[in-house]
Amino acid sequence: MAQDQDIICEIRGAAGVVILNRPKALNALSLGMVRELARALDAWENDPQVTRVVVISTSEKAFSAGGDIRWLHDCGKAGRQDEMLAFWGEEYILNHRIKTYPKPYVALIDGIVMGGGVGISLHGSHRIAGDRYLFAMPEVGIGFFPDVGATYALPRLPGAFGNFLALTGERIGAADALSVGLATHSVASDRMAELADALTSRAALDDILAGFTIARPPGPLQAEAATIADAFAAASPLEVVARLKALATGGSAFAGKLAQTIAAKSPTSVAIAHEQMRRGKDLDFAEAMRTEFRIVSRIAHGHDFYEGVRAVVIDKDQAPHWRPDTLEAVEPAAIAAYFAPLGAAELKLEV
């Protein structure tokens, strides 16, 4: 195995195996990684030797913690938005490719899975959660938005759970992920390597997984399901916050914490994410990806993404100056503009 490659795609037995191998960056996706995975999927689709795709990580900490945010920030600050949009465009096309892939696509997720890592795992047929599984879409905290197919996937989670994830960026573990369908199976961390090896055999996929799958007790958020469903089903982000504050007044410490969490995020991003969830439930996957490309095409030329990355990733002062700085000041027309068609610049998908 070439240890210096960020991603390694090779055939092992009956499986096309994808190894995420950029551990120092928590397997953050680069354009080169996106292109190599896309190339492998193309090669394996009609290869009779390959019956399934298996995605694994060399990092004990992360499956993939997202996209290469610092690189994207630096491109934009240098006026190279065309390079940013080339990355996002190819990434979104890859997300759609995974969603529509004709062979089983099995992601072994044991560690952090966020942002771009969600995009190369959640849309596959099988998402296997290890003990260390930790899912989040934390983009609203850096002036961005839940992309890589979140517009389609999150509104379809039960009990407004996807809205909760999108607006708060909260992290959840394997048990809660299983309960809402973000993960399809659960396996003990110390058996993940054994499972990866077993998946290269020609045995039936479901039979292999049955021999490794474990049950998990209810996750901590199961007790908060009613609070989540009540607050995050609200028709506007301001109403979400109002419901959370009312629940907090009624004694819910959980609701009070979430209201504070949302208050620290980019108001524009929170409003975009809420509108995504509202629209996304009625979109097919291809249209969801086109919608995300419309949004990102505007964010690349905006303010909050660069300010958020500065505050969280670069200076690490955790003190972003959002524009506008309150949800009340966000103009509905400004949010609607993020969703407007791009004409000739629309994302080109093969459907």
* Catalytic site positions: 67, 116, 139, 147
User: What is the Cα–Cα distance from 16 to 200, expressed in whole angstroms?
Assistant: 8
User: What is the Cα–Cα distance from 84 to 87, expressed in whole angstroms?
Assistant: 5
User: What is the Cα–Cα distance from 279 to 128, expressed in whole angstroms?
Assistant: 29
Kindly list the distances between the CA atom of residue 6 and the CA atoms of 24, 27, 193, 266, in Å, as whole numbers in the listed order.
10, 8, 19, 32
Q: H helices within the chain, ranges in order? A: 31-45, 69-77, 81-99, 116-119, 150-153, 161-168, 174-180, 192-198, 205-210, 225-232, 237-249, 253-264, 267-280, 285-299, 304-309, 332-338
Burial of 272 from C-beta contacts in 10 A (0-12 / 13-18 / 19+)? buried
Find where tokens 């009625």 sit: 282
The answer for 344, left when phi > 0, alpha when psi is -120 to 50, beta otherwise, is alpha
Closest CA to 140 of 288, 289, 290, 330: 330
Amino acid at 129: A
Sign of CA dihedral 31, 36, 40, 42: positive
User: What is the Cα–Cα distance from 279 to 94, expressed in whole angstroms?
Assistant: 22
Find where tokens 């994808």 sit: 18
Answer whether 277's CB lies under 8 Å from 228's CB: no
3-state secondary structure of 29: strand
